[in-house]
Structure 1
Amino acid sequence: MNEDKRRRYSAPVVDGIAKAPSRAMLRATGFTDEDFVKPQVGIASTWSRVTPCNMHIDGLAREAGAGADAAGGKSVIFNTITISDGIANGTEGMKYSLVSREVIADSIETVAGCEGFDGLVAIGGCDKNMPGCLMGLARLNRPSVFVYGGTIQPGPGHTDLISVFEAVGAYTKGDKRLIEVEQVEKVAVPGPGSCGGMYTANTMASAIEALGMSLPGSSAQNAVSEDKLADCRAAGAAVLDLLERDIKPSDILTREAFENAITVVIALAGSTNAVLHLMAMAHTIGVPLSLEDFTRIGKRVPVLADVRPSGHYLMSELVAIGGIQPLMKTLLEEGLLHGDCLTVTGRTLAENLADVAPYPDEQNIIRALDNPIKKDSHLRILYGNLAPTGAVAKITGHEGTHFSGKARVFASEEDATAGVMEGTVVAGDVVVIRYEGPRGGPGMREMLTPTSAIMGRGLGNDVALITDGRFSGGSHGFVVGHITPEAQEGGPIALVEDGDEIVIDAEHNTITLNVSEQAMIDRHARWQAPAPRYTRGVLAKYARTVGSASQGAVTDGD
């Protein structure tokens, strides 16, 4: 990069005495005279000791910084937050989870906007910090690369975090002894990295790579590996190349790129949270994306990955056979991906995939296109008198496509979990958990604890669960979330009564409450919105500003 461009890109360029205070501040942090004319690359680290997903990211941030420095830039590492869904699930603390996505985006925008970084690397490792990072990068629209912190290794016996949740449910049924639960708990999470199935973290990492915002292979690497260290160094260097080419997120995050991401999420049997996060990310960059796009794309894209939670294999096993690149090449050759989309390599998606080798012959993780697990999408967007503006179901094919049962209504996740554990919920029930939406919760908690309890008690084939909250990527069974309008807004889910018949049809994509229209009018006339649960602090602020889940639950909407 020539001197003129260095000076044009460099935020703290000093041509006069007015910049002396800035130089003094930066010199104290380690800048030398030579550094003042280099492009500054902000390294947004989500390092934290609150979760194994992010406990190693400080080291990854240093590697990314080293890569930027070696390529002629000056790296500046700064931190943003993360929370742990796995630790908070089933508690009041989980209300902060989705909120953290907005806080992370806000903080990256705030720091980078204030400090004037020329380019950015963002490193995420858990569910909400990945879309949060992307939203922050999109708002700033400066040359940027996202790095995934990587997946965890499985515990002995092919266990992972979801094994612990389901062991608890099995204990309450009497199928496991307490010592057996303890044995699973002690080994299931053996070290750094994100939860090992195709849960939300691995889903979003794959989606971001498909979007073109990560270097090829970044989404499918073990957290502790030489490949991940090299990925970080390469990302730091890539930002300098993007600066040279003047390639920004708005050049990469096109509508076609989001269609690629949806396609890959479906093929991988990814988390329902991808619907929420992809719409939020698209909103941030100004790309129109709606629930209908998931239905449209889902009609032609099959589920090919036999991965947890509904399947058998873990992400580390997918890493071992080549990650998602061979899958993406197959989808491209079938005409299911837009190959001309630009990526952070400066090349198109098709160019990145040109030399990718196919999967080994002897593997059962990714099916062939003519032998899919499911011929169309597992992400079903449902409508009906119970969800007039939409709901999201995860129907992989193992659960069947139709469920009819009697409503068993709960006003919170805790009440529902107790109902499952104590045996109140029985075969044939449709568990209704309401007032858990973005505003009503507030925070739209994941229903991992009650869904795991249902599976652990052996009711997975006999009970459905619907909610205006959402689900962990680890949830499975006949589950429908993101029901809108939510209960706090007076949506129909607020009017359901115990014993009402509910019919879920994932072939016709409908969810129906078999109650007369007049009865619903009468119930609504009697309904009163509950008082806000929080009146001060971040949860109160979130409840006042958040939009509908059907539009991504963003806090900076129109």
Structure 2
Amino acid sequence: MSLNKFSRTLTQEVTNPAAKAMLYGIGLTPEDMEKAQIGIASTGYEGNPCNMHLNGLSVHVKKGIQENGMVGLIFHTIGVSDGMTNGNEGMSYSLPSRDIIADSIENVVGAQWYDGVIAVVGCDKNMPGAMMALARLNRPGMLVYGGTIRSGNYKGEKLDIVSAFEALGKKYAGTISDEDYEGVIRNSIPGAGACGGMYTANTMASSMEAMGLVLPNSSSYPATHEGKKAECLAIGAAMKVLLEKNICPRDIMTRHAFENAMTVVMALGGSTNAVLHYLAIAHSAGVEFTLKDIQDISDRTPLMADLKPSGKYYMEDVLAIGGMPAILKYLWKEGYLHGECLTVTGKTMAENLTDAPDLDFDAQKIIFPKSKALKSSGHIQVLYGNLATEGAIAKITGKEGERFEGLAKVCDREEDVMEFLSKGEIKAGHVVVIRNEGPKGGPGMPEMLKPTSALMGAGLGNSVAMITDGRFSGGTHGFVVGHVTPEAQEGGNIALVKDGDKITIDAVDNKIILHVSDEELAERRKLWKPKVSPHTSGVLRKYIKNVASASLGCVTDL
């Protein structure tokens, strides 16, 4: 069987001599012209710890490809650091980068006629962007996760990126010295790897292993672990199997596979960003998958993991208890996962897990059995009401309670939170409303990690709630509701809230209610006007014009 199904257009067809000449120009041999060509999409760049090592991993992937009789060709795509852009205008570019990544991988692989594609990914938008591209292309392919970061340490306390944000809240509250403030910042990030808790990167990595798009344990190995290099070298043999059996991403990315992915998100206490991303990935894969489906999965999946941000442990701790295969095996044995789903090993999920280790619930306290689950249902809840007629996403682990009623403190932009907090204007019992931060209004639906972390650091995390038409980082914890749709920029009722309005957030009956009459809201609407965007050209202008609602995953190709 010929494995160069696509690349033969350039290497075999007599009508494309210039293409063949250029391939000789990059150093290929006549023998190489008979081989499959694999595009290796590296999301590596020097400016972000999550991605700084990925170009190096790509070289190991290429070596594994070459050793298995194929041609590996590395190309690159963009990245945006969520940690560095959180709390400033750079965050407007973060979510749009997901679609640019998807577009660029699709563009290169399609134009260059690669027979398969491997994406080496490490940060929040790299993974969903690459998964969207694989689904669109539907050529044999897989992903390699760059791995989680090791935890930092200062004065005996484990640290990560959220520690730096929470230190700011402590600074506002006057509960941290200047020396310790600087010490936390200098020691939070010790080197390469994605943010260390069950934040968005590790959420996506764990769930895409549940989906079957990476080799077993890819989400478990820390970035600096020797197993990561070995995994990269093993990609070549796995890629050859995919080509020989013509296993394509859409053979793997079935409806049941999406259910497996979101089940793991719920069980591990993962990021609400997974909702946005899996809605978008499903769109690219042609799979019907909605907010209702996500709520159904949450209803039947208990929260079992004591992982950051709401828990104690880091992703680096998971490898020692058997890694993600041990967790997946338990979920599969208990009936939460579909074992028949195909994976990039060429085997089913069940076949991959047969020899995986079993979780020892006496020896470890990271993952709890379902009988002792931290919450009987998932922490991600889809809420509806007059504040979110198209839905909103709550992240409620149960530690915050499951119902909050309070008076609105309205912030017309994220920066207002920090100003009000520094002045002591945010009080216990407030529902902090951050609006004009949606996909169009933000633009780019910025994450609210800076204000939520500052509230935690200021000691208000358990006494205030926050709602927004923006989104939240995987590092956020507290009583928070994001993805409020319709967003303020589109005239959603969140645009009409005033200081002092009573708001009820109910994560039991899944409601979010603004206690203002329809008549009063109609009067307020007469005075409302959408804000005028300063983005009159460029990528953000294109994003504003094309992006769909958060309830549809913020896709840009409807």
Which TM bucket (shorter chain)? over 0.9
1:256-309 CA-partner distances (Å, limit 9, x unpaired): 100001111100000000000011000111101111111111111100100000
CA 1:12–1:36 in 2, change beyond 3 Å: closer, same or farther? Answer: farther
Moved more, 197-206 or 525-534: 525-534
Give the partner amino acid of 1:89: N
Aligned to 1:426: 427
C-alpha separation in 2, matches of 1:13 and 1:464: 58
Aligned to 1:455: 456
1:448-473 CA-partner distances (Å, limit 9, x unpaired): 00000100000011110000000000
1:141 pairs, out of 120, 138, 141, with: 138
Contact 2:62 2:73 in 1 (8 A): yes
Equivalent position SS for 1:398: coil
C-alpha separation in 2, matches of 1:220 and 1:99: 28
Give the partner amino acid of 1:366: I
Aligned to 1:494: 495
CA 1:428–1:246 in 2, change beyond 3 Å: closer, same or farther? Answer: same
Aligned to 1:299: 299
Contact 1:307 1:314 in 2 (8 A): yes
Equivalent position SS for 2:467: strand
Shift of 1:17: 4.7
Equivalent position SS for 2:352: helix
Aligned to 2:277: 277
Shift of 1:382: 0.4
Shift of 1:198: 0.3
Give the partner amino acid of 1:323: G
2:547 counterpart of 1:550: no
2:90 counterpart of 1:56: no
C-alpha separation in 2, matches of 1:533 and 1:292: 35
Aligned to 2:417: 416
Aligned to 2:511: 510
1:119-167 CA-partner distances (Å, limit 9, x unpaired): 0100110001110011111111100011110000001121111111101
- The root-mean-square deviation of aligned C-alpha atoms, in Å, is 1.1
Percentage identity across aligned positions? 54
Give the partner amino acid of 1:350: A
C-alpha separation in 1, matches of 2:33 and 2:165: 52
Moved more, 477-486 or 23-32: 23-32
Moved more, 462-471 or 62-71: 62-71
Give the partner amino acid of 1:143: P
C-alpha separation in 2, matches of 1:103 and 1:128: 10
C-alpha separation in 2, matches of 1:508 and 1:265: 21
2:395 counterpart of 1:398: no
2:121 pairs, out of 120, 124, 127, with: 124
Contact 2:79 2:126 in 1 (8 A): yes
Contact 1:12 1:36 in 2 (8 A): no
2:187 counterpart of 1:187: yes
Aligned to 1:21: 18
C-alpha separation in 2, matches of 1:12 and 1:182: 57
Aligned to 1:214: 214
Q: Which runs of 5+ in 1 are unaligned?
A: none
C-alpha separation in 2, matches of 1:14 and 1:424: 68
Contact 2:4 2:37 in 1 (8 A): no
Equivalent position SS for 2:300: coil
CA 1:69–1:509 in 2, change beyond 3 Å: closer, same or farther? Answer: same
CA 1:7–1:102 in 2, change beyond 3 Å: closer, same or farther? Answer: closer
Moved more, 367-376 or 520-529: 520-529
Give the partner amino acid of 1:448: L
Aligned to 2:102: 105
Give the partner amino acid of 2:419: A
C-alpha separation in 1, matches of 2:202 and 2:477: 16
Give the partner amino acid of 2:127: M
Shift of 1:237: 2.6
CA 1:14–1:173 in 2, change beyond 3 Å: closer, same or farther? Answer: closer
CA 1:7–1:173 in 2, change beyond 3 Å: closer, same or farther? Answer: closer
Contact 1:7 1:13 in 2 (8 A): no
Shift of 1:187: 1.1
Aligned to 1:155: 152
Equivalent position SS for 2:159: coil
Contact 1:123 1:147 in 2 (8 A): yes
Question: What is the total number of aligned residue pairs between the two structures?
Answer: 554
CA 1:57–1:325 in 2, change beyond 3 Å: closer, same or farther? Answer: same
Shift of 1:182: 0.5
C-alpha separation in 2, matches of 1:395 and 1:121: 35
Aligned to 1:245: 245
1:359-405 CA-partner distances (Å, limit 9, x unpaired): 24411100111100111010010000100000001000110011111
CA 1:437–1:38 in 2, change beyond 3 Å: closer, same or farther? Answer: same
Map of 1:3-82 to 2, 5 A cutoff? 5-6=2-3, 8=5, 10-11=7-8, 14-15=11-12, 17-82=14-79
Relative to the length of structure 1, the TM-score reads: 0.98
1:322-348 CA-partner distances (Å, limit 9, x unpaired): 222111111111111111111111111
Moved more, 219-228 or 486-495: 219-228
C-alpha separation in 2, matches of 1:11 and 1:522: 65
Equivalent position SS for 1:524: helix
2:310 counterpart of 1:310: yes
Equivalent position SS for 2:261: helix
Shift of 1:12: 5.0
C-alpha separation in 2, matches of 1:527 and 1:127: 35
Give the partner amino acid of 1:295: Q
Map of 1:267-416 to 2, 5 A cutoff? 267-360=267-360, 361-416=362-417
Equivalent position SS for 2:132: helix
CA 1:377–1:35 in 2, change beyond 3 Å: closer, same or farther? Answer: same
Q: Which runs of 5+ in 2 are unaligned?
A: none
Moved more, 288-297 or 417-426: 417-426
Contact 1:121 1:236 in 2 (8 A): no
1:464-521 CA-partner distances (Å, limit 9, x unpaired): 0000000000011000000000000000100000110001011111000000111111
Relative to the length of structure 2, the TM-score reads: 0.98
CA 1:237–1:527 in 2, change beyond 3 Å: closer, same or farther? Answer: same
Contact 2:10 2:113 in 1 (8 A): no
Aligned to 1:257: 257
1:233-259 CA-partner distances (Å, limit 9, x unpaired): 222331221011011011010111000
Give the partner amino acid of 2:80: I
Shift of 1:532: 2.1
C-alpha separation in 2, matches of 1:11 and 1:554: 33
Equivalent position SS for 1:475: coil
Contact 2:3 2:244 in 1 (8 A): no
Contact 2:3 2:115 in 1 (8 A): no
Equivalent position SS for 2:152: coil
C-alpha separation in 1, matches of 2:45 and 2:8: 29
Contact 1:145 1:238 in 2 (8 A): no
Shift of 1:526: 1.9
Contact 2:437 2:445 in 1 (8 A): yes
